[in-house]
Structure 1
């Protein structure tokens, strides 16, 4: 049973996360020739204060 863990910055809509889960599930199913019922996807949303890039939290980096 494949288990896929995805970490993303928080702030995306429920609908966007739902589409992500569906697309990842379908891609893994096709690639591994595995039924979608056997695939688990875990999406963890990380606050931008807890995600760093270049030595700074994302909350301090201008987009």
Structure 2
């Protein structure tokens, strides 16, 4: 039997890994201009980094 704290930690780790894989690739920008595409990709980075940081902090709070 797996302790509840370990189950919660594994669940949070799995969630963080799933989000990381989903957000690993930047969105495909439907624009022919490379500079606009680069800006859209760069706009994708801060929210994803903040979300992953929040999951990492949540995982740290769950672990004893």
- Structure-1-length-normalised TM-score: 0.38
Counting helix residues as a fraction of each chain, which structure ranks higher? 2
